[in-house]
A = this chain, B = another copy of it.
């Protein structure tokens, strides 16, 4: 997996495997919103408008489409309580969403670290300027 310099080094078959698997993954959870919606729902079940508020910047139309996609792919369940008046709709993560734990953890860690790196770089830039 790693070469003599500590760099990731893939053999041709490993590379093929990675390209196709990561391609499959991006196909279902790629895009700007899917993972964010899943993260927002891991805070707890949410109604449509709550969810829209939690996922900053998403429009109702896009949220609606993304939810349909996520439901189709088994990540999200749409729960309707028709006894309530007016009817209450809640979105809930399925068990299948749990399989994303590692992916989410990795992205979370990387994103946090990356932000720190960027901030350090920009602090250094300012020191050089001054």
Contact = CB atoms under 8 A, between A and B. Distances in A.
Contact of A22 (B22, B39, B101): B39
Contacts of A7: 42, 93, 95, 97-98
Chain A interface size band reads 35 or more
Given A8-B42, A95-B7, A22 B104 contact: yes
Interface SS of chain A: helix
Given A8-B42, A8-B97, A40-B15, A108 B22 contact: yes
A49 interface: no
Interface of A: 6-12, 14-15, 17-26, 28, 30-32, 35-36, 39-40, 42-44, 54-56, 93, 95, 97-115
